[in-house]
């Protein structure tokens, strides 16, 4: 399934500002609450993580490598490509793109690519994170205050299996 990225809007059918219920009705898969980041709902069968701000609206989406799901931006598939290739590709479109210790970040498009470590510039992109504009315009401290703790969210939606996983992933 191809998921088209629309900067500061969303990815595929998922849109920033959607409620938890709207996201769940689109993904229709069991989900888990991230063991450390309690504002993140993880859909392991899809390799998708959705981050929520209070009062339960989508503010960020991460997609990891899966055979059947591939995010695409401006005709370019982003996963599994060497980070140095993606850095050059993004530099042509966003002169403010930054290489970090774990990937690259494009403020112009609200896209972050993760490769684990940029010590090897040939490391493949393992996941991508797209976010709403306000995440890039706010400080980390302000962003953390706005995140929702899904452990206290209720009521669960029919056909959605939510369980909290511990730090080991169980």
User: CB atoms < 10 A from the CB of 159, how many?
Assistant: 10
| pLDDT for 152 | 63
| pLDDT for 121 | 92
Dig out the tokens for 129 from the structure: 């994170």
Residues 69, 46: Cα–Cα separation, whole Å:
7
> Average per-residue pLDDT in the chain?
83
Structural domains of the chain, ranges and CATH numbers in brackets: 2-164 (2.60.460)
Q: Is the pTM of this model over 0.85?
A: no
pLDDT at 141 over 80: no
Average pLDDT over residues 146-153: 62
Q: Confidence band (pLDDT; 50, 70, 90) for 135?
A: low
pLDDT at 170 over 60: no
Q: In 3-state terms, what secondary structure has residue 86?
A: helix
Q: Which residues pair with 32 in a beta bridge?
A: 42, 163
């Amino acid at each position: 399934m191809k998921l088209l990225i629309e900067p500061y809007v969303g990815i595929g059918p998922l849109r920033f500002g959607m409620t938890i219920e709207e996201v769940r009705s689109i993904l229709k898969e069991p989900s888990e609450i991230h063991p450390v980041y309690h504002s993140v709902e993880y859909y392991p069968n899809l390799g998708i993580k959705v981050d929520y701000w209070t009062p339960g609206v989508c503010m960020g989406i991460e997609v990891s490598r899966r055979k059947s799901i591939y995010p695409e931006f401006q005709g370019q598939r982003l996963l599994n490509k060497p980070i140095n290739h993606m850095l050059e590709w993004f530099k042509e479109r966003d002169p403010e793109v930054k290489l970090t210790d774990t990937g690259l970040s494009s403020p112009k498009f609200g896209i972050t690519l993760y490769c684990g470590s940029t010590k090897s510039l040939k490391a493949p992109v393992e996941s991508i994170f797209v976010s709403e504009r306000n995440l890039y315009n706010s400080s980390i401290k302000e962003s953390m205050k706005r995140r929702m703790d899904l452990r206290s969210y209720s009521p669960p939606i029919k056909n959605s299996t939510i369980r909290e996983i511990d730090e080991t992933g169980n």
